[in-house]
Amino acid sequence: MRLGWTKTKYSVSYYVQKTIYVNGKNKSMVVKRLGSEKYICETYGVTDAKAWAKEQVSLMNQAEKEEALPVTMDFFPSRDISSNQQRCFNGGYLFLQSIYYQLGLHKISKAISTRHDFEYNLNSIFSRLIYTRILYPGSKRSAYEDSHLFLEQPDFELHQIYRALSVLAEESDYIQSRLFKNSLKLSERKTGIIYYDCTNFYFEIEQAEDDKQYGLSKENRPLPIVEMGLFMDAEGIPLAFSIYPGNQNEQLSLIPLEKKLLTNFDLSKFVVCTDAGLSSSSNRKFNDDRQGKRAYVTTQSIKKLKKHLKTWALDTEGWLLAGEVTKPGHPKKRYSLMKPDGKDDNEKIYYRSRWIKEDGLEQQLIITYSLKYKEYQETIRNRQLERALKAVKKGKSAIESKRQNDPKRFIKAEHVTTDGEVADTTAYYIDVDAVNAEAMYDGFYAVCTNLEADPLSIVKINKRRWEIEECFRIMKSDFEARPVYLHDQERIKAHFITCFIALIVYRYLEKSLEEKYTCREILDCLKEMNFLKFEGKGYVPTYEKNELTNALHSHFGFETSKEILPINKMRKIWAQTKKQDM
Rounded to whole angstroms, what are the CA distances from 71 to 68, 327, 426? 9, 74, 80
User: Do the bridges between strand 538-541 and strand 530-534 make them parallel or antiparallel, or are there none, so unpaired?
Assistant: antiparallel
- Cα 430 to chain centroid, rounded: 40
At residue 343, the pLDDT reads 63
Q: Please check whether residue 262 is in contact with residue 268, taking contact to mean a CB–CB distance below 8 angstroms.
A: yes
Buried b (16+ CB within 10 A) or exposed e, 361-381: eebbbbbbbbbebbeebeeeb
Phi, psi (rounded to 5 degrees) for 109: -60, -40
Within 10 angstroms of residue 249's Cβ, the number of other Cβ atoms is 14
Using CA atoms, how far apart are residues 273 and 448, in angstroms rounded to an integer?
A: 10
DSSP string, 455-505: HHHHHHHHHTTHHHHHHHHIIIIIS---SB---SHHHHHHHHHHHHHHHHH
CA atoms within 13 A on the CB side of 558: 20
At residue 355, the pLDDT reads 95
Within 10 angstroms of residue 336's Cβ, the number of other Cβ atoms is 13
Q: Please check whether residue 43 is in contact with residue 33, taking contact to mean a CB–CB distance below 8 angstroms.
A: no
Amino acid at 204: E
Q: Which residues, 6+ apart, have CB-to-CB distance to 326 below 8 Å?
A: 332, 333
CA atoms within 13 A on the CB side of 136: 21
Torsion angle of C-alpha atoms 419, 423, 424, 429, degrees rounded to 10: 120
* Coil/strand/helix, residue 213: strand
DSSP run (H or E) holding 114: helix 105-114
DSSP run (H or E) holding 12: strand 12-22
At residue 205, the pLDDT reads 46
Q: Would you call 270 exposed, middle or buried from its count of C-beta atoms within 10 A (0-12, 13-18, 19+)?
A: buried
Within 10 angstroms of residue 296's Cβ, the number of other Cβ atoms is 25
Task: Catalogue the E-assigned strands of 250-399.
Answer: 270-274, 294-299, 320-321, 350-358, 361-369
Contacts of the segment 130-134: beta carbons below 8 A, 24+ positions apart: 130/96, 130/100, 130/105, 130/498, 130/501, 130/502, 130/505, 131/93, 131/96, 131/97, 131/100, 133/479, 133/498, 133/499, 133/502, 134/96, 134/479, 134/502, 134/505, 134/506, 134/523, 134/526
Q: Tell whether omega for the bond before 483 is within 30 degrees of 0, i.e. cis.
A: yes
At residue 222, the pLDDT reads 46
Amino acid at 506: Y
At residue 419, the pLDDT reads 61
Q: Which residues, 6+ apart, have CB-to-CB distance to 103 below 8 Å?
A: 179, 182, 183, 186, 504, 505, 508
Phi, psi (rounded to 5 degrees) for 87: -120, -25
DSSP run (H or E) holding 127: helix 122-135
At residue 527, the pLDDT reads 97
At residue 524, the pLDDT reads 96
Using CA atoms, how far apart are residues 205 and 223, in angstroms rounded to an integer?
A: 7
Low-confidence residues of the chain: pLDDT under 70? 21-24, 66-69, 202-224, 340-343, 395-404, 415-425, 482-487, 580-582
User: Do the bridges between strand 411-416 and strand 238-245 make them parallel or antiparallel, or are there none, so unpaired?
Assistant: unpaired
